[in-house]
């Protein structure tokens, strides 16, 4: 699973981003604040934990399906998805600053 897929590192990264995180923004995640630039590693860990929690709720951890799901998500490039969220967060911050500058002009 190491081939690029739809612009993402691989199929697993693309699919998890699409099926779990599509439509979410940084405000939906508890690891972003307006005042502190998030650490990519912390965001990646948060995203991984979030998905693993979903899998534990949806699949009995003692079952084969859970084992396969965990093997699939082990291929995800969490740093790439984290960077995607961080870029969107930075754009939101920049937009707010532009609006504030326009109001003060």
Domain presence at residue 4: no
Range of the structural domain that residue 18 is part of: 11-104
What separation in angstroms does the CA of 42 have from each of 30, 32, 47, 83, 85?
11, 10, 9, 11, 12
Looking at per-residue pLDDT, the higher value among 42 and 28 belongs to 42
Inside any domain, residue 2? no
Question: 0.95 cut: is pTM over it?
Answer: no
pLDDT at res. 61? 80
Q: How confident is the model at residue 24 (pLDDT cuts 50, 70, 90)?
A: confident
6 located within any domain? no
Q: Is residue 5 part of a domain?
A: no
Q: What percent of the chain has pLDDT over 70?
A: 96
> Within a domain: residue 49?
yes
Tens digit of pLDDT for each residue in 53-88? 999 887 788 889 889 999 999 999 999 999 999 898
Q: Looking at the domain assignment, is residue 37 inside a domain?
A: yes
Q: Is residue 81 part of a domain?
A: yes
Domain presence at residue 70: yes
Count of domains forming the chain: 1
């Amino acid at each position: 699973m190491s081939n690029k897929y739809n612009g993402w590192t691989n199929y697993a990264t693309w699919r998890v981003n699409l099926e779990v995180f599509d439509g979410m923004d940084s405000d939906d995640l508890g690891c972003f604040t307006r005042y502190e630039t998030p650490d990519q590693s912390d965001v990646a860990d948060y995203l991984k934990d979030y998905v693993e929690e979903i899998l534990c709720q949806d699949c009995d951890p003692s079952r084969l399906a859970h084992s396969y799901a965990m093997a699939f998500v082990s291929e995800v490039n969490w740093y790439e998805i984290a960077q995607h969220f961080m870029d969107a967060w930075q754009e939101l911050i920049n937009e707010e600053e532009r609006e504030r500058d326009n109001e003060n002009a």
